Structure 1
Amino acid sequence: MLGAHPTLLVSLYKGCSPILSAHSPAIMAFMAAPGYQPVYNPAIPFRNPIYGGLRSGMSVYIQGMIPHHVNRFSVNFSCGQFDGTDIAFHFNPRFDGRDTVVFNTFQSGSWGPEERKNDGIPFRKGGHFELVFLVNPGSFQVNVNGFPFYEYRHRIPLERVQCVHVAGDVTIQSLTVVGGGGGMATLPSFPTGGPAPGFPNMSLPVMGGPVYNPPVPYNGMMPGGMCSKKTVVVRGFVPVGAQRFHINFKVSSTNDIALHFNPRMNENTVVRNSQLRGSWGQEERKNPFNPFLPGQYFDISIRFGNQRYKIYVNGQNFCEYKHRFPAFHLIDSLEIAGNVVLSLVQC
């Protein structure tokens, strides 16, 4: 288990469309401006397309685990989806001898001068990790488990990057491309086998700007309130020893809680409820599975429908919650508190 603080992503978007193949020409136009492209449990090696190319303001989030037999793995920001293409950024942790991470660029058939980091390596055999690649105008900023790790200056124009390629001895729980600068987000891009069962299908506009590493508890306003087909995605990590945390969708004018989503690790359950006019309603506790385990990452997607909330965890349909406060436009506050570490909130 890693000792460093992990990260959590909260991202808002709205809208939906019927599911189509991620490579279908019919939806390529929607993917021209990258926004939110979740992929769950892909087979390695794996190539995730970035339609429209990479640009400043985008981020790539990778949650995964290092197997005990690891020798090395790599994350490549490639200029094509085939072997031998130029690689704008090669991120390569190596465990064959002294642990190190190598950074480089492959261009016109040749590797450039290596950059290396030999100290403070946060990857451990058998340990979970979260990698965040923040794309800046002059560099890639690499954060690992919530902490800055390395900055790599661009050697190839960002716009040439067409995919993220993961290879080697690593298990990937999820990989997400988050678009910057607004525009239409993409449908989920899934590996072989199609979309994860029950995961909502979306073509979604990016909303707001991210807030990095906010303190807990987090309180943020959502101007204009909620509406049908808007979705909140919460991505994070449950620390070892954690007992519970909650996500509340609130009405700031009355302090009503329209939805209280409350994983309780100490009770091995997830409670849903509403607090209206100062009183809690009937709890809902029936859960098909328990995805919230100490030392593990999670991905929550809460979608607002006309009659109910649809809640997904790690790409799987988790539960539904019928509205007890149907005035969506008055739900204008997001509160996250408890035993969880936040690194990014977008709302």
Structure 2
Amino acid sequence: MTHCSHFHCSLQVEQYVGEIKGGLRPTMKLTIIGMVHSKPKSFSVTLLCDPVDANKDVGLLFTVNFSEKSITRNARIAGKWGREEKTIPYFPFTAGDTFKMELLCEHQQIRVLLDGRQLCDFTHRIQPLNLVKALRISGDIKLTKVA
């Protein structure tokens, strides 16, 4: 018998925060492998300037919303959220399915690949890039690997 309450067993909301050593820089790749919950609402991947103080600037907030089948991207600079970007060629996530998401940091943008297919890109709004120092993942997914 595992000691987990009925509330948290299978529907535990994932919370992961990892440091990006030396900050984000071009040619860097972040890989996230995980599985979507069976009844997902949303999950988000955030590139943070400060892993502890959530009020600091955000290099990228990538939010997946299953009821809207939408993926929004935004950044927060000097406390203010900018313009949301929502264009995607297709909605790639399926409840209960595994996925591999790669964030490729390029000079001008972050390119997001899903299972090897380009999903979207997001032009850097925070300069210099190395101010972005942490990766946070939270929501209705189960992480297998973050690298």
TM superposition score normalised by structure 2: 0.83
Q: For the Cα contact (< 8 Å) 2:33–2:146, is it kept in 1? A: no
Deviation at 1:343, TM superposition (A): 3.3
Matched residues in 2 for 1:302 and 1:345: separation? 11
Partner of residue 218, structure 1: 16
Partner of residue 248, structure 1: 46
Indicate which of 11, 16, 32 corresponds to 1:234: 32
Partner of residue 7, structure 2: none
Residues 297-312 of structure 1 correspond to what in structure 2 (within 5 A)? 297-312=98-113
Partner of residue 271, structure 1: 72
1:281 matched to 2:70 = no
Matched residues in 1 for 2:26 and 2:33: separation? 21
Deviations 1:237-272 (CA, angstroms, capped at 9, x unpaired)? 111111100010110176211011111111101111
1:330 matched to 2:131 = yes
More strand by share: 2
User: Which amino acid in the other structure matches residue 108 of structure 2?
Assistant: Q
Identity of aligned residues (%): 26
* SS of structure 2 residue aligned to 1:341: strand
Give structure 2 stretches of 5+ with no counterpart. 1-12
Deviation at 1:306, TM superposition (A): 0.9
Deviations 1:200-242 (CA, angstroms, capped at 9, x unpaired)? xxxxxxxxxxxxxxx8211111221011110111111111111
Q: For the Cα contact (< 8 Å) 2:33–2:144, is it kept in 1? A: no
Q: For the Cα contact (< 8 Å) 2:31–2:146, is it kept in 1? A: no
User: Which amino acid in the other structure matches residue 86 of structure 2?
Assistant: R
Deviations 1:45-98 (CA, angstroms, capped at 9, x unpaired)? xxxxxxxxxxxxxxxxxxxxxxxxxxxxxxxxxxxxxxxxxxxxxxxxxxxxxx
| CA 344–298 in structure 1, closer or farther in 2 if over 3 Å, else same | closer
Matched residues in 1 for 2:103 and 2:117: separation? 12
Matched residues in 2 for 1:329 and 1:317: separation? 24
